[in-house]
Structure 1
Amino acid sequence: MRAERGSEPRLVATDLDGTLVRSDGTVSPYTQAVLTALDERGVPVVFVTGRPLRWAEDVFEHVGGHGLAVISNGALVWDVARREPVLTRTIEPAAGIEVCELIRSAVFGSAFAVETLSGISLEHGFRERYPVPSGTRRGHLAEIFAGPALKLLARHEELGYQEFWDRAVAAIGDRAVVTWSSTSSLLEISAAGVTKATTLALLCEERGIDPHQVIAFGDMPNDIAMLAWAGTSYAMADAHPTVADTADHVAPGNDEDGVARVLASVFGLAIAPVVE
């Protein structure tokens, strides 16, 4: 339903994979048109993603002139136009190594990777599912954790993701934030207190935008905190059940341009869906 005049959101926050981006990795022409219309109105669209910077850059052209992106589950705020960081919320090596070793002690067979602004480094036993840049470093944990990290990745080749998550959280307590957005047993670990929600809140506070003026979209557990924080929230039609339980509303799926369809209705945009 379209919001009443004067009550339209002042900022849009959207996850990417499974939410704004289609299953084939594209952003549809219709979604592009809706985002462009919002940019022309001066409504910022903030991409809030678990993706590392190197993957998020693939869709940066669609955030428009107001573009900011919250990367790596809140560890980085990136100015798209200037191609520079606005804010980093990192894990220091000593704290990160302690977290990894606690998880490894509790869950034998865990392997880790370290995400930084410059890229990813992998333990020898970490089996990546996607291509990594040429020259990506592999080594022992102390070797690859040489400086502040935006995010840690923990993978297990035998446990299911729920059991892995439960055991990891029990092992580290509040030393870090553990979440996930994958269908495999891959955990995403951020510094204590760092989530999509807490970083989005900092970004909005600087701009004088209250939570009730934000509309947010997501589909996986790493979106739950953001959806709970935003004044208006949508889970995608095929979202994880815990996400659907959190959100206020349900949007059509990402392959049906659900985010764009909701935004066109909320903002009264006369943009016809593209027939493909």
Structure 2
Amino acid sequence: MTVTTIRLVATDLDGTLVRSDGTVSPRTVTVLRRVVDAGAVVVLVSGRPPRWMKPVIAATGIDSPAICANGAIIYDPRADRVVEEFLLAPVDVARIVAVLAAAAPDVRFAVETGADTYAVDGYRGGWHQDGGVRPCSLRELAGLAAAKLLVYHPRLSADELLEFVRPRVDAIAEVTHSNGRNLVEISAKGVSKASTVALLAARMGISAAEVVAFGDMPNDIGLLRWAGCGYAMANAHPVVRAAADALAPSNDADGVARVLEDFLGSHKYMPEPERASCEGC
């Protein structure tokens, strides 16, 4: 562990901060508020689009800029608006769709724009929990700029699909997954949770050594490796546990809260009263 003073806590939501029943426990809410009161910044970092962040923001009261769609979007909860985007360009969406459709005719695609999900017929990836998926043709989909291009296969697991997709598109995009479904998520080259947390931290004058991060799935690996200390949850994917500096208890055991309680109890890790500021991030 190379963390010095904790000035920023970056935490994934599903499978990490959020329990399996979709709730955030009172214990976790209390601890997050204590961290903020101690002068640190808490950044919610998720594969979710902004519209799915709102229940967790409301439950926790954390209103600093949130990182959505695996780093593709910075969302300001206070203003309820997207302030910055790092999108996969339509030309790259079209190239990837063409390559993967030729290599595996059974794949189906969807695009998350940040505001909506557009999906071709046969897509069953489940990344439209709000029922707001908009049907579209493959030609229409290939003309969209994507926060995430979602690739579904009816038989391959997420791990198997990741191994199939990554070498075919790695030169022009980032590929990961965050679920147990038959789905992978593709972002613009160089865009990840880690890259966007690093950007926000730099704007606040915070170094990686002053960041503690939490996650559970492959889309969290880069963030856990970048942070001064990266915690994988006890329920995390095996590759995430292997990549982390340390293990936290599971999401259903309030693992994030329990680790942060230990840091709060050891005052040498908490910032001085002067707060890190995320104004203008």
The normalised TM-score by structure 1 is 0.90
- 1:11 aligned residue: 8
- 2:265 aligned residue: 268
Number of aligned pairs? 266
Give the AA of the match of 1:153.
L
2:88 aligned to which of 87, 91, 106: 91
- 1:101 aligned residue: 98
* C-alpha distance 169-130 of structure 1, shift in aligned 2 (>3 A): closer
- 1:173 aligned residue: 170
Write the deviation string for residues 227-246 of structure 1: whole angstroms up to 9, x where unpaired.
00000111101211111111
Q: What secondary structure does 2:265 align onto?
A: coil
1:73 Cα deviation (Å)?
Answer: 0.4
1:190 aligned to which of 177, 187, 192: 187
For residues 76 and 82 of structure 1, the distance between their equivalents in structure 2, rounded to whole angstroms, comes to 15
1:133 Cα deviation (Å)?
Answer: 4.5
For residues 232 and 166 of structure 2, the distance between their equivalents in structure 1, rounded to whole angstroms, comes to 24
Q: How does 1:113-262 map to 2 (within 5 A)?
A: 113-129=110-126, 132-133=129-130, 136-262=133-259
1:137 Cα deviation (Å)?
Answer: 1.7
Q: Which aligned segments of 4 or more residues in structure 1 are displaced greater than 4 angstroms?
A: 130-135
| Mapped contact 1:50–1:72 kept (Cα < 8 A) | yes
Give the AA of the match of 2:85.
T
- 1:82 aligned residue: 79
1:150 Cα deviation (Å)?
Answer: 0.7
For residues 246 and 105 of structure 1, the distance between their equivalents in structure 2, rounded to whole angstroms, comes to 33
- 2:51 aligned residue: 54
The question of 1:71 aligning with 2:68 is answered: yes
Q: What secondary structure does 1:267 align onto?
A: helix
* C-alpha distance 131-189 of structure 1, shift in aligned 2 (>3 A): closer
* C-alpha distance 127-16 of structure 1, shift in aligned 2 (>3 A): same
Q: Bigger CA drift: 214-223 or 115-124?
A: 115-124
1:131 Cα deviation (Å)?
Answer: 5.3
* C-alpha distance 135-51 of structure 1, shift in aligned 2 (>3 A): closer
1:28 Cα deviation (Å)?
Answer: 0.2
Structure 2 unmatched ranges of 5 or more: 268-281
Q: Bigger CA drift: 251-260 or 95-104?
A: 95-104
Q: Bigger CA drift: 172-181 or 126-135?
A: 126-135
Structure 1 unmatched ranges of 5 or more: 271-276
Give the AA of the match of 2:169.
I
Write the deviation string for residues 135-180 of structure 1: whole angstroms up to 9, x where unpaired.
6321212213444221111100012222211111121132110100
Give the AA of the match of 1:191.
A
Give the AA of the match of 1:96.
V
Q: Bigger CA drift: 249-258 or 166-175?
A: 166-175
For residues 127 and 68 of structure 2, the distance between their equivalents in structure 1, rounded to whole angstroms, comes to 18
The normalised TM-score by structure 2 is 0.89
| Mapped contact 1:15–1:217 kept (Cα < 8 A) | yes
| Mapped contact 1:36–1:62 kept (Cα < 8 A) | no
Question: What's the % identity of the aligned pairs?
Answer: 44
